[in-house]
Copies of this chain bind each other. A is one copy, B any other.
């Protein structure tokens, strides 16, 4: 590690290896080459691109051939590489490459949410042993600074809640469905054509991508290791045009939310006031939110994250959550900071998991629900339905009957209820003679109940 005596222009060059040259890697390489002078001034020493690991050497990338290699392992191991940028994605071989870099004392900047959601513990430990840095601002919400504010800016506060729209593909789809009334499949096809959705959209539309980001956000917010397996997850593929229409009728829209929440200790457990521990609820699902909620107006491929903390109150961060240039901006910010640490002898904050809060199961997590029922149009149905909710301990906020005859519908909005009670209620409703079908069950978030 270079210790510097304060004269910045004496810095020896710091070598950078870039792993992967997709949209993000291409932008990172471009900035490293086109803005070398600015980066040098900001780091204190020149950043020199030593090489880029790619899968296919034949493709023309406008780079000198000697900078390209298919041997990522050898590139990471080079003595003249001080900093490794991993933008290849996927678990393998990224996991081993980052591990090798960190073990060799090289600092790593990564945008790899899937890897971090499962292996931050392992990677952070490797970084700790060799006193290298692991930075990952780009892993959540692209260019929007969220990771650094949670780790650093809010390190003197107590975070209670993080709610975000952190997946651009699903937000594009839901925004379009809301605006046009189109069906899910049609909008997904359009998103694929426009390049907003991948050929296999599963990771996005089923919420896996958002769940990985939720795990990362929750880990940071609550100083507790949270992995993707701890995140309750539902995707948007079952959302219908009718769901959006019903949402609209009650002044809401539907968003795929990543929610990280500090909740009370479980039943029978000591509360935090009694020396026990709060729990952490982390979940990803589509939910109704009121149109007046700050997240409701986040449309298209944009992302936004709302953070609520004891002293800071409610903060919101908004911007482009994906794409080559925005993600590269986050990567390069991290790279400059990691390089400065190499140069001045500092360290990024390591993993902070001291709080070790337990994960609250989804069945214990109270949310409000919006239940749509197709019912027979005869007297007493509303009362019978209300009674079924009451029998399962689910308190109703509003019931609204829509239509008549065969098309009669009841829209029920509940107060906060735990998922297990709601599930029991829905099962009982489905068994009722007067209920033709339970058309949809959606959570309702972002309302203040009195």
Interface set of A (CB-CB < 8 Å, partner B): 6, 27, 31, 35, 38-39, 41-42, 128, 131, 137, 143-145, 148-149, 152-158, 223, 294, 309-320, 325-326, 328-337, 340-341, 344-347, 349, 352, 354-355
Contacts and interface: CB of A to CB of B under 8 A. Distances in A.
A38 B333 contact: no
A53 to B, nearest CB: 20
Contacts of A352: 41-42
Given A154-B333, A156-B335, A315-B320, 12 more contacts: A41-B223, A143-B315, A145-B154, A145-B315, A148-B153, A154-B329, A156-B333, A156-B334, A157-B329, A294-B318, A311-B326, A313-B325
20 contacts: A31-B156, A41-B354, A42-B155, A42-B223, A137-B153, A148-B152, A148-B153, A149-B149, A152-B333, A152-B336, A156-B334, A311-B328, A312-B329, A313-B320, A314-B319, A316-B317, A344-B346, A344-B347, A345-B346, A345-B347
A223 B143 CA distance: 20
A131 B345 CA distance: 12
A27 B157 CA distance: 11
Nearest to A320: B313
B137 A35 contact: no
B319 A319 contact: no
A334 B346 CA distance: 16
Contacts of A333: 152-157
A131 to B, nearest CB: 8
Contacts of A334: 156
Contact of A346 (B6, B154, B346): B346
B345 A329 contact: no
List of 7 A-B pairs having minimum Cβ-Cβ separation, nearest first: A156-B332, A346-B346, A143-B312, A311-B329, A145-B153, A315-B319, A312-B329
A153 B311 contact: no
Which among A143, A326, A345 has the greatest number of chain B C-beta atoms within 10 A?
A: A143
Nearest to A35: B158
A103 to B, nearest CB: 15
Given A312-B320, A319-B312, A346-B344, A149 B148 contact: yes
B311 A325 contact: yes
Which among A148, A315, A328 has the greatest number of chain B C-beta atoms within 10 A?
A: A315
B149 A332 contact: no
Contacts of A328: 156, 311
